[in-house]
Every structure is written in C-alpha cells, then in structure tokens.
Amino acid sequence: MATPMTADQRLAAYKAEGLAIHEYSGWRTHNRDSATGKTFGPVHGVLIHHTAGHNDKDICYKGRSDLPGPLCHNWLGKTAGMWMIGQGRANHAGLVDGDVINALIAEKPLPKDNEADTDGNDVLYGLEIENLGDGKDPYPADQYHQAVLWAAAHCRFHKWTAKSIAGHKEVQPGKIDPSFDMDVFRADVDNQLATKPGKPVSPKPTPSLPRVDLSRLIQAAKADPPAKQGHVTYMAGVNLVEAALVKLGYLAKTYAGDGSFGTTTIAAYRKLQLHLYPGASTKPGGAADGIPGKDSLTQLGKKTGLFSVIA
Ligand SMILES: [Zn+2]
C-alpha cells in the first residue's frame, strides 16, 4: 500500500532511472478521478499492457467511444519514446482478480486470475506499450528496455520488488497482454533495481516469448473436460493455446479466454492435429485425440508466434 507518486515525483523518478520523457499536453490533470468520484490510490503495483495497435498515443490519451481516456499513465512508442499520458485514475486495468491484487500487495507468487471482482484502475499504475501483440510484431530492444526502466522507477520509489509487477494477462481473465513473458520481465526489473538508478544493466534485457508448459497443458486437457463447465487447471497456458487456435481459425473467439481446456478446445485442437497429421486416429491415445503433444504444440506456437514450449 502506498500513496501514489505526484506528477513531479513521477517525472523525477523516470529521469533518474535513465528514461527520456515526452509530455502529452495536459497530462498533469488528465484522469478519471472526478468523473467517477473515485480517487486514485493507495497504489499496490504496476501493470504492463500492449496496445494491440499502432500509432495509438492519441487514443490512449483521449480514449475510445466506449471507454474515456486516459487509458494508461504512460504510453511507450515503438520508436517514439516514453510519453506522460495521465496523472491519477486511468481506464487501463478494468475489473481484476482481487486475489491477484492481494498477492501483489504481499509480493507473493500470483495466483490464477479466475475472477474479475476488484477495481484495478484504483490501485495500479499502467503502461501501454505500442505493439500489435500478435506475437509477430517485435518489441525493439530499446522499447523493451524503456519498459523495464519505467517499471523499475515505480518499484524503486515505493521500495517494492519486481513482485509488485503484473501483466494485464495475469490479473484479468481473458486478457493476453503483454505478449512477452512476465517472469523474464520481472527478472529484468530486479536486475535493474540491483543497480544504481540511471546505471542501465548490460547487456540490455530483451523480451522473451511466453512459455507453455506441455505437461501442465496435458493435465488441463485431461482434467478440464470431465469437470464442471469452466474448470481451470492451467489458465495462463490454456489462454495462450486458445488464442493461437483462434488465430488459425480452429476455435471460435467466443470460446477462448476462459482458461479452461474444455470439450470445445479439445475439438479445436483435434482439428489442428488432423491438419498436421492427415488421417491420424482421433481415438484416445491417437495422434489426433485433441490432447496436445510436443510436436503439435511446438508447431502451433511457431505458426502463431504466440508462445514457445517447455517440455
Ligand atoms: Zn491491457
């Protein structure tokens, strides 16, 4: 729990950490506090997003027809640098899982985000990183490095570790952003925190693809279908695999994002296997039984660029 940084404190902390800062006109008083009657803070952590678009700095400031801006505290361009967008409450997190917020407060490993029961806009700083988030759009090393410095600046100011950092995909069911691995990102921030501010670590950190653990995914594909509708065994991995199946057209978007490897996901995965292994058996134990294998999962991750596989 902490009192939010003032506008001047934020600027000073970012600059001390080594960031060059651009200021969107009006950012110092741009927030959702008075419109919602809810004051920003106390703050419990920082949240990382990708924008799922390009050239969206203005959208992040102004908002969309269904969601007024600011949509973040900072916007980080692919090559346009770090921009101040808002100061105070911002519409970036939405409703999030209160258990995950409690873990951020306690700096404990994050539990599964299986509920959206808590106002995240009240308690989290938000960074939107300009990236399509399709797994193919690269994060330039300099952009990723600036994201690490931004998160480190907040942690250093509040005397938090990187355990106070989460990705949107880790706090709200169905979200897949950011499209890089958050464990690697947190390790990169901890490395930065171990140095003096303004002394960037070398070599520069680089983003990693999220990883899907094959054995945990197989557990989910076996445990979820016979269980109650929506049963969740391995949310993070299943969400990535479902997003990949949607991308290749094997699964309808409406079925993705609940983190459950249910019968619809089994059927979609079987379609992928039949495409990879024409004529394969769909019987239990067959190469097209809908249970992921190392080869099919690796190919799915590569084709979509959404994840790599730990086997
Ligand atoms: Zn997001």
At 1 the pLDDT is 64
| Percent of all residues in the chain with a pLDDT value above 70, rounded to a whole number | 100
Give, in order, the Cα–Cα distances in Å from 117 to each of 91, 96, 148, 239: 16, 6, 28, 19
CA of 218 to the centre of ligand 1 (A): 28
Choose among 159, 162, 164: nearest CA to 124: 164
Alpha carbon of 56 to ligand 1 centroid (Å): 13
Dist. CA 129 → ligand 1 center (Å): 9
CB 135 within 8 A of CB 179: yes
CA 50 – ligand 1 centroid, Å? 6
**288 alpha carbon to ligand 1 midpoint, in Å?**
34
Task: Give per-10-residue mean pLDDT for the chain (311 aa).
Answer: 94 97 98 96 98 97 97 98 98 97 96 90 98 88 96 98 97 90 95 88 84 94 90 86 94 86 96 97 96 97 91 85
The rounded Å distance from CA 282 to ligand 1 centre is 37
Q: What is the CA(52)–ligand 1 centre distance, in A? A: 9
Residue type, 309: V
Q: What is the Cα–Cα distance from 218 to 234, expressed in whole angstroms?
A: 9
User: 31 CA distance to ligand 1 centroid (A)?
Assistant: 17
Percent of all residues in the chain with a pLDDT value above 90, rounded to a whole number: 81
Q: How far is the CA of 115 from the centre of ligand 1 (A)?
A: 16
pLDDT at 236: 81
Residue 139: predicted pLDDT: 94
Q: Could you tell me the two tokens for 206? A: 């680089």
Sequence-distant (6+) residues with CB within 8 A of 285 are: none
Ordered by where they begin, the domains of the chain are 7-193 (3.40.80.10), 211-310 (no CATH)
Q: How many angstroms is it from 170 CA to the middle of ligand 1? A: 10
241 CA to centre of ligand 1 in angstroms: 18
Site of tokens 């464990």: 183
Residue 265 alpha carbon to ligand 1 centre in Å: 24
Tokens linked to 108:
């404990």
**Residues 215, 218, 220, 225: what is their CA dihedral angle, to the nearest 10 degrees?**
-170
CA of 270 from ligand 1 middle (Å) equals 30
